Chain A
Amino acid sequence: MNLFFQNIVNGLTLGSIYGLVALGLTLVYGILHIPNFAHGALYMVGAFMSYFFMVDLGVHYWVAMLGSAAVVAVLAVLCERLVFHPLRHSPPIHDKIAAIGILLFLEAVVQMFWGADFRRMSSPFTGIMNFDGLIIPEQRALIIVGAIVLVVALQLFLRKTMTGATIIAMAQSREGAFLVGIDANRVAMMTFAISGMLAAFAATLYAPINLVYPAMGHVVIMKAFVIIILGGMGSIPGAIVGGMIIGFAEAFGGFYISSSYKDIIAFGLLVVILSVRPQGLFAKGAH
């Protein structure tokens, strides 16, 4: 029973992180129809920025998290301005290749400064919460609470503010959004900034119980893609539900099936699901 509960906590933690990364990805896809392969690199840069702020500048964890979010947001906006914006009329294959170019570049730059070593990042939340034998490490609790706060904040922003509404409008219908005078450039930059921030938050939350290294984004971004395909590309609830599905599948699969194959579970799931339903689990229309 205890182990079962532990797996639920692990599933929730993983699901929260994957969900946050997938949210950024799905927002960008919803607005610009770009599968941003560089999103995992933004996640990785987020972790390294927090590491840099904490270890080299010695600031507090929360400050480091905010600083990292700001840096990655700016980086994401730069990607949009310098790369994706000039490519907006190109065939879709070009966006993907350019995104891969950004990914390779960011990874190489980080590796040049910090090397390919695995690093450990500490956080002030190292304690353990014990509820009558049910153990939750504080950092995992923080991840789950942090993810909930971020998702609620994002929902409030999208539903209650004018700027958020423009993002939703553009995701629903590009032409419609243009007709009512929504500035596409502004929305695109805003979306990239939000997606970068979410990636940085997720990376900073997850880094203390994981390791920080230049290739850390690879597996995460691929899982995030699996999630948004499961949840329907561009769908916000889909990203959260899909994140939880993959998180739980991994926590339980890694425990009950095989821990060395746990990274394959998500991809195996995708292969099976797409073989049966090429349009994804929850997608409304095909492709």
Chain B
Amino acid sequence: MLKLASFMTRPAAKYLLIVLALVFPLIARNEYQVYVMASAFIWAIAVYGLNIITGYCGQLNLAHGGFFALGAYTLGLLTGDYGWSFWPAFVGALLMTAFIGFLVGVVSLRLKEHYFAIFTLCVGFIMYMLTDKWEELTHGPIGVRDIAAPHGFGIVDFTETTPFYYLVLAFLIFAIWFMGKLSRSLLGRTFMAIRNGDDLAQSLGINLMRNKTLAFVLSTTYAGMAGALYAGMVRFIGPEDGNILHTFDMITYLLAGGIGTLSGPLVGTVGIVWLTQSLQFLEEYRMILFGPLLVVLVIFFPRGIVGSFLGWLHRKTLDAGLPAAKQKESRIATGKGVENNA
């Protein structure tokens, strides 16, 4: 049991997961399951973005769904209305979300805690209202149609589900790889220092504003990437894609998986997306379950599945006196490092 558990934290588990994801379309019972998995991966990318600013940097960003919609709309409008092809529009969506993210970040990150959360809530709502009301640009409630999929090559046609699944998977692996690099880098540790106490971080010589803005821009770019992929897959978007409820969904995924952990967003998103799929009849009322789930999670398991698992594993290995514990001990003694490396 313990062996199995500690295996989960080894690199081998990572490769096993990748292999599983690669063969998933072959073992899936129908195309719909592949589609659900692809959309779960897209949400996971967005949740990784939320994890940067909220999990590592400690700022609750409630405009995240808005940036997701911004990426989706940028791609949708550029390909649908202005005749761009997918990849230039994709880059355009990334640049757009990064740019708007920078502007919003520069203003909003001067605010702390509650003020920041409320401000971003309003920003997200403004974005939603604009997609709904600015009909000349966004087509209003009708939404955007005729969104281009990426050009295929050979027998690969990205308008089909399975090739797009692999495309999304590639982006997801890149997103996680980058996040892993980030969380182990000085920059990632800087973000965590800000989360753990920004006065202390500042007195250590950390430039709060610059680092927070960087975290914010990174997170909105992730949201934009996910949004653009979403638009490319669904190929029809409307104002409801920017609904604040999507932000709340993402917070649920993040919290269930484990806020501030590396594998938490993936575990939480894929887990809950499949949970809601299996409770199809609940689709409309899923919040009856999600709402109390959020409350129970923050009260009893604030570290989520991954965080709680790592905590349990850590205690067990200490009890068993395994050699692995010795290696990790120094890291634990110096701080919260352990939860951020799984």
Residues of A within 8 A of B (CB): 29, 33, 35, 37, 82-83, 86-87, 90-94, 96-98, 100-109, 111-112, 218-219, 222, 225-226, 229, 233, 260-261, 263-264, 267-268, 270-271, 274-275, 278, 287
Number of A-B contacts (CB under 8 A): 120
Contacts of B251 in A (CB 8 A): 97, 100
Instruction: Give the Cβ gap from B25 to chain A, nearest Cβ, in Å.
Output: 33
The answer to whether A229 and B288 have CB atoms under 8 Å apart is: no
Contacts of B115 in A (CB 8 A): 229, 274, 278, 287
Residues of B within 8 A of A (CB): 54, 58, 60, 107-108, 110-115, 117-119, 121-123, 125-126, 129-130, 133, 244-245, 248, 251, 255, 284-288, 290-295, 298-299, 302
Known: A97-B294, A98-B299, A226-B122. 13 other contacts (CB 8 A): A87-B299, A93-B58, A96-B114, A96-B117, A101-B295, A108-B285, A218-B244, A222-B122, A264-B133, A267-B125, A271-B119, A271-B123, A271-B126
Given A261-B133, A267-B125, A86 contacting B299 (CB threshold 8 A): yes
The answer to whether A102 and B291 have CB atoms under 8 Å apart is: yes
Contacts of B123 in A (CB 8 A): 267, 271
Using CB atoms, name the residue of chain B closest to A268.
Answer: B126
**Separation of A222 and B244 alpha carbons in the complex (Å):** 12
Task: Kindly identify which residue among A93, A111, A264, A275 contacts B54, using a CB–CB cutoff of 8 Å.
Answer: A93
The answer to whether B60 and A97 have CB atoms under 8 Å apart is: yes
Instruction: Give the Cβ gap from B200 to chain A, nearest Cβ, in Å.
Output: 15
Instruction: Give the Cβ gap from B299 to chain A, nearest Cβ, in Å.
Output: 5
Instruction: Give the Cβ gap from B321 to chain A, nearest Cβ, in Å.
Output: 32
CB-CB nearest 3 A-B residue pairs:
A105-B291, A101-B294, A108-B287
Task: Kindly identify which residue among A35, A83, A97, A260 contacts B118, using a CB–CB cutoff of 8 Å.
Answer: A35
Instruction: Give the Cβ gap from A49 to chain B, nearest Cβ, in Å.
Output: 18
Given A96-B117, A97-B255, A103-B291, A274 contacting B107 (CB threshold 8 A): yes
The answer to whether A108 and B291 have CB atoms under 8 Å apart is: yes
The answer to whether B288 and A35 have CB atoms under 8 Å apart is: no
The answer to whether A233 and B291 have CB atoms under 8 Å apart is: no
The answer to whether B290 and A104 have CB atoms under 8 Å apart is: yes
Task: Kindly identify which residue among A87, A218, A274 contacts B111, using a CB–CB cutoff of 8 Å.
Answer: A274
Contacts of A104 in B (CB 8 A): 245, 248, 287, 290-291, 294
Contacts of A225 in B (CB 8 A): 118, 121-122
**Separation of A268 and B248 alpha carbons in the complex (Å):** 22
The answer to whether A267 and B126 have CB atoms under 8 Å apart is: yes
Contacts of A106 in B (CB 8 A): 291
Name the residue in A86, A101, A263, A287 with the highest tally of chain B Cβ atoms < 10 Å from its Cβ.
A101
30 A–B pairs (Cβ distance < 8 Å), ordered by A: A33-B114, A35-B114, A35-B118, A83-B295, A86-B299, A96-B117, A97-B60, A97-B294, A98-B295, A98-B299, A101-B292, A103-B291, A104-B291, A105-B290, A108-B291, A111-B284, A112-B285, A112-B288, A218-B125, A218-B244, A225-B122, A233-B114, A261-B129, A264-B130, A267-B122, A270-B119, A274-B115, A275-B107, A278-B115, A287-B112
Contacts of B244 in A (CB 8 A): 218
Given A260-B133, A268-B126, A107 contacting B110 (CB threshold 8 A): no
**Separation of A91 and B195 alpha carbons in the complex (Å):** 10
Using CB atoms, name the residue of chain A closest to B123.
Answer: A271
**Separation of A123 and B244 alpha carbons in the complex (Å):** 32
Task: Kindly identify which residue among B111, B117, B288, B290 contacts A278, using a CB–CB cutoff of 8 Å.
Answer: B111
The answer to whether A108 and B288 have CB atoms under 8 Å apart is: yes
**Separation of A102 and B288 alpha carbons in the complex (Å):** 9
**Separation of A195 and B292 alpha carbons in the complex (Å):** 22
Contacts of B126 in A (CB 8 A): 264, 267-268, 271
The answer to whether A229 and B118 have CB atoms under 8 Å apart is: yes
Instruction: Give the Cβ gap from A220 to chain B, nearest Cβ, in Å.
Output: 12
Instruction: Give the Cβ gap from A270 to chain B, nearest Cβ, in Å.
Output: 5
Contacts of B113 in A (CB 8 A): 92, 287
Name the residue in A83, A100, A102, A103 with the highest tally of chain B Cβ atoms < 10 Å from its Cβ.
A100
The answer to whether A97 and B292 have CB atoms under 8 Å apart is: no
**Separation of A101 and B302 alpha carbons in the complex (Å):** 14
